[in-house]
Each structure stands twice: as structure tokens, then as C-alpha cells.
């Protein structure tokens, strides 16, 4: 990786590649430093993260709850599954105009769209996690006369936890993608808005700097969720190793 950036740096300095489209990594680093010192980075990053986390908590929370219920209840699954199957394939960014009409052009519409995007990976993985639990566990619980609350706490939650955590990882990555996309289209501040402004003004060093921050966020999110998964579901990590 370091070798790649060294070659890129040399090619940019020697004029082998266009500095307009491929600015030297050192220029991008300097721009990133200026972005940090000016305080604009913290403003844009805080706005992006607030939209992302707000949508994640709402959409992921609803997806988790509904996934657990539908995975456990065949009747509820029979009723709600066709509706979920009809809505899921619709590109979430395509319903942005409708959301803007309903919720306006403020922060609420951005969070709602992120929440909708987060809902599906969380819901599908959670429901799959519940449904793949072996019936043997339920039979053992019935033999010990466990009530529904005990079954939920002792079987449903632990048994589906690895898939829930996988769903959280997918939902968080989806939230990041949709948040940046929404900011590109509707926001004046945020990482997505910075990327759009850099494109409009052909300041590609700003564009690369903002993209580097987005990439770093993706790395941090995935690393953090892996740490959480190892602590909450250590048996899954042991099985994979």
C-alpha cells in the first residue's frame, strides 16, 4: 500500500498523471490538515455522524425488534413478509423526493431515509438468525417447562446474536453510504456536501480528503463492530478461528 502511494506521488510530481484528477498524496494530506485545523472537519463530521447514528438507531432498532418477532412468529411472518419483499428492492435513494414532500427539506428527511436504508439489513439478518436456531433447543426448553420469556432470553437472543451483529455491520455500512448520498443531494454541510462542493469547484484535493475521511469512518465502524462481536458472541469467534 505504501509503495502504491509512493508511485502515485512520484507520478504526480513528474507530471505523468494529471494533478487535476490525481493530485499527489502529499497535497491531499496537506489539504486534510488544513481541513482539520480550520475546524470545518469537526463541523462536517459531527453533522454526518448525527444523521448516520440517528437513522441507525431508529431503522436498526425497528429492524431488530421486527426481525425477532417475525423470526419467532410464523403468523406474523406470513402477514408481513409480502410487504417487506415488495418494498425491499426499491432503491432507497429513489424515494428521497417522496420523503422530502412528507418530512420537508430539513434534518428529519435525511434521518428518515437513512433509517429506512438501515432497517432492511438489520431486519433480514435478525429474522434469519432466529429462524436458523435448531428446533432441538425449543424442545429442550419445553421439557424443562420454560415459559416464553425464558425462551426469548435464553434461546432466541443468544442463538440469533451472531446474525444480529452481522446485520448491524451491514446496516452501519449502508447508513454511511446513504448518509453521504443524501448530503450530496440535499445538504449544505456534512462530508457529502463537501464532496459535492469540491466537484463543483474542481478542487479535487478537497474531494480526495473528504473521501479519505469517509474511508476511515468505514474502517473504524467495521473494527468497532468486530470488537463488539468478539465480546458479545465469543463462541462465534472461537468457531471461526
Q: Which CATH number is 200's domain given? A: 1.10.3720.10
User: pLDDT higher for 64 or 188?
Assistant: 64
Residue 11 covered by a domain = no
Q: Which residue has the cell 448525527?
A: 50
Number of structural domains in the chain: 1
* pTM of the complete model: 0.86
Counting beta carbons within 10 angstroms of the beta carbon of residue 104, is it exposed (0 to 12), middle (13 to 18) or buried (19 or more)? exposed
Identify the pLDDT of residue 240. Answer: 54
Q: Is pLDDT of 77 > 70?
A: yes
Residue 108 covered by a domain = yes
Q: Got the DSSP string for 102-170? A: HH-SSHHHHHHHHHHHHHHHHHHHHHHHHHTS-HHHHHHHHHTT--HHHHIIIIIHHHHHHHHHHHHHH
Q: How confident is the model at residue 147 (pLDDT cuts 50, 70, 90)?
A: confident
Residue 174 to residue 184: CA distance in whole angstroms: 15
Q: What is the mean pLDDT of residues 198-226?
A: 89
Residue 236 to residue 226: CA distance in whole angstroms: 11
Residue 9 covered by a domain = no
Residue 170 covered by a domain = yes
Q: Is pLDDT of 75 > 70?
A: yes
Residue 14 covered by a domain = no
Give per-residue burial for 109-118: e unless 16+ CB within 10 Å, then b.
bbbbbbbbbb
Q: Is pLDDT of 227 > 70?
A: yes
Amino acid at each position: 500500500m505504501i509503495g502504491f502511494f509512493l508511485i502515485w506521488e512520484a507520478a504526480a510530481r513528474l507530471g505523468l498523471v494529471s494533478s487535476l484528477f490525481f493530485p499527489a498524496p502529499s497535497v491531499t494530506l496537506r489539504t486534510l490538515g488544513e481541513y482539520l485545523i480550520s475546524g470545518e472537519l469537526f463541523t462536517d463530521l459531527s453533522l454526518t455522524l448525527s444523521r448516520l447514528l440517528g437513522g441507525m438507531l431508529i431503522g436498526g432498532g425497528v429492524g431488530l425488534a421486527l426481525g425477532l418477532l417475525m423470526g419467532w412468529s410464523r403468523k406474523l411472518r406470513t402477514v408481513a413478509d409480502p410487504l417487506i419483499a415488495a418494498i425491499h428492492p426499491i432503491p432507497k435513494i429513489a424515494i428521497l423526493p417522496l420523503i422530502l414532500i412528507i418530512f420537508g427539506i430539513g434534518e428529519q428527511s435525511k434521518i428518515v431515509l437513512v433509517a429506512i436504508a438501515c432497517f432492511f439489513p438489520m431486519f433480514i439478518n435478525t429474522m434469519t438468525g432466529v429462524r436458523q436456531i435448531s428446533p432441538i433447543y425449543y424442545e429442550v426448553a419445553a421439557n424443562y417447562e420454560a415459559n416464553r420469556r425464558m425462551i426469548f432470553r435464553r434461546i432466541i437472543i443468544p442463538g440469533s446474536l451472531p446474525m444480529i451483529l452481522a446485520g448491524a455491520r451491514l446496516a452501519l455500512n449502508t447508513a454511511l453510504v446513504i448518509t453521504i448520498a443524501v448530503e450530496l443531494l440535499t445538504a449544505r454541510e456534512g462530508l457529502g456536501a463537501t464532496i459535492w462542493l469540491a466537484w463543483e469547484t474542481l478542487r479535487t484535493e478537497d474531494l480526495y480528503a473528504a473521501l479519505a475521511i469517509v474511508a476511515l469512518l468505514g474502517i473504524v465502524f467495521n473494527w468497532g463492530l468486530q470488537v463488539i462481536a468478539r465480546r458479545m458472541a465469543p463462541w462465534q469467534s472461537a468457531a471461526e478461528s
